């Protein structure tokens, strides 16, 4: 059976409004629609880099004790965590030019498509 969900731990973590830190999460493999739907979003039309925010909010299925991961939450990630998740996304979806790896450490972690 193919593995479709992958656990990760953010380097810094997401700090919510109540001061709770959320570091452990799960990301699922992306589907075609995960990369197509953001292209219709007005925020992406005015700023193509925003696609990263929407894609990550679609594929992160769990982050700490949060009920859901929304684009607003992704916007509030620390830069090092966003970079980690972009690399992690590319790794698990085998978008890297090197041979696919299953190690999910920050050093070998996955970048969203351009």
Rounded to an integer, what distance in angstroms lies between the CA atom of residue 49 and that of residue 44? 7
Whether residue 105 is contained in a domain is answered as no
**111: pLDDT confidence band, cut at 50, 70 and 90?**
very low
Other Cβ atoms closer than 10 A to 1? 3
pLDDT digits (tens, 9 = 90+) for 38-75: 999 999 999 999 999 999 999 999 999 999 999 999 99
| pLDDT of res. 5 | 97
Whether residue 69 is contained in a domain is answered as yes
Rg (C-alpha) for the chain, rounded Å, is: 14
C-alpha torsion 100→107→38→28, nearest 10: 60
Whether residue 113 is contained in a domain is answered as no
Number of domains in the chain: 1
Start-to-end C-alpha separation, the chain: 30
Whether residue 29 is contained in a domain is answered as yes
Whether residue 34 is contained in a domain is answered as yes
Whether residue 84 is contained in a domain is answered as yes
Domain of 41, in residue numbers: 5-92
Whether residue 107 is contained in a domain is answered as no
Cα 42–Cα 47–Cα 68 angle in degrees, nearest 5: 65
Could you tell me the pTM of the whole model?
Answer: 0.82
Whether residue 98 is contained in a domain is answered as no
Is the four-CA dihedral 54, 67, 9, 72 of positive or negative sign? positive
């Amino acid at each position: 059976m193919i593995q479709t969900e992958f656990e990760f731990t953010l380097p810094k973590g997401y700090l919510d409004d109540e001061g709770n830190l959320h570091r452990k999460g799960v990301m699922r493999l992306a589907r075609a629609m995960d990369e197509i739907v953001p292209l219709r979003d007005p925020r992406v039309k005015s700023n193509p880099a925003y696609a990263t925010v929407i894609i990550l909010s679609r594929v992160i299925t769990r982050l700490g004790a949060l009920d859901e991961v929304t684009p607003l939450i992704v916007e509030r990630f620390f830069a090092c965590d966003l970079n980690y998740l972009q690399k992690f996304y590319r790794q698990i979806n085998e978008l890297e030019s090197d041979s696919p790896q299953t190690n999910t450490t920050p050093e070998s972690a996955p970048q969203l498509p351009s």
